[in-house]
Structure 1
Amino acid sequence: MAFLMQQMMGDKLKNFMGGGGEDSGASGGDGKETAESKGMTREEFEEYQRQLVEEKIQRDKEFASRKAERANLRVLLRDKYRLPQSAQDDATVQMAGDDIDVPEELAKMVDEDEEQEEKNDSFMAKLQNMDVDFETIKTTAQTTMTEVKQAAEEKCVLM
């Protein structure tokens, strides 16, 4: 019902209100803002537009920098945990160039972890490189225990 009323009365109400749905003077014929719509002189409006463009460029630079920092962090973490590399992250880091910085605390954490891994790796490498025959170790331990029991039985009256 409301739709029917809108169709019948809509055009008449628009004409009565004084326009075809556009704000009179608020925008130009193509819908863009004008100096008059902002209540500024032409020079003020041009300065305003220039500031908007500069702010947008600055925001885009900061966004690209933060994006590159995150990509650099992902690359470092992939290196640390030996995960496959991402071409997209590599490209993002290369596009940013030398502008990216890893936070100092994060760099310390990564360095400490690398040092700890080197220590662990060296121990694990030694352990893996040892030729250990567990059967020999087991039989040696058993014979030693039996010898200790026999010596204890000989010297101790209670046993």
Structure 2
Amino acid sequence: MAFLLQHMLGDKLKNMTGGSNEGEENVDGKETAASKGMSREEFEEYQKQLIEEKITRDKEFATKKAERANLRVQLRDKYRIPQSAQDDATVQMAGDDLDVPEELAKMVEEDEEQEEMNDSFMGKLQNMDVDFDSIKAKAQSTMTEVKQAAEDKCVMM
């Protein structure tokens, strides 16, 4: 019962009597040196350390995010999927500090080399599934037919 009364009326009574919030959070909801049980210098150092840790975490998060975006860009290149402007922007913001998995880089490079080979004339010749013996036989039979037709016409004249 006392807890309930203190909870309901406690803050109002403190404000009326001029009670302070020492040892608790500031009126703005911010922590104070006294609330943490530290001296002012220790508290400032603590705050600086928190800010530095937050900056480090944010930097690592941005790097990981850019690496994932770079991975998506590489996969889109490999499988010829339309690019995403958001991924491109993320990769550009990160710069050249990104790590691409070695296996993926090798796969993309091999695919590019294979495409270059297939696009060349020799590559097209190698990929053709043509039986040159059958083509040669067909050409010879056509030539003999043409010769026969020419001889037949010449004899009749």
TM-score using structure 2 length: 0.62
Q: 1:28 is matched by which residue type in structure 2?
A: N
Question: Is the CA contact (8 Å cut-off) linking 2:69 and 2:91 kept in structure 1?
Answer: yes
Q: Aligned residues: percent identity?
A: 68
In structure 2, the partner of 1:14 is 7
Separation in 1, partners of 2:6, 2:53: 42
In structure 2, the partner of 1:34 is 32
Cα deviation for residue 127 of structure 1 reads 7.5
Separation in 1, partners of 2:127, 2:105: 31
Q: 2:7 is matched by which residue type in structure 1?
A: K
> Which of 17, 22, 25 is the equivalent residue of 2:23?
25
Cα deviation for residue 47 of structure 1 reads 0.4
In structure 1, the partner of 2:78 is 80
Runs of 4+ in 1 over 2 A off after TM superposition: 12-16, 18-21, 103-132
TM-score using structure 1 length: 0.61
> Which of 57, 62, 77 is the equivalent residue of 2:60?
62
Deviations 1:50-82 (Å, cap 9, x if unpaired)? 010000001111111111111111111111111
Counterpart of 1:32 in 2: which secondary structure? coil
Q: 1:41 is matched by which residue type in structure 2?
A: S
Unmatched tracts of structure 1, length 5 or more = 141-159
In structure 2, the partner of 1:146 is none
Deviations 1:18-53 (Å, cap 9, x if unpaired)? 5469x7622111211111111100000000000100
Calculate the aligned-residue CA RMSD, in Å.
Answer: 3.6
In structure 2, the partner of 1:99 is 97
Cα deviation for residue 99 of structure 1 reads 1.6
Count of residues paired in the alignment: 125
Cα deviation for residue 98 of structure 1 reads 1.5
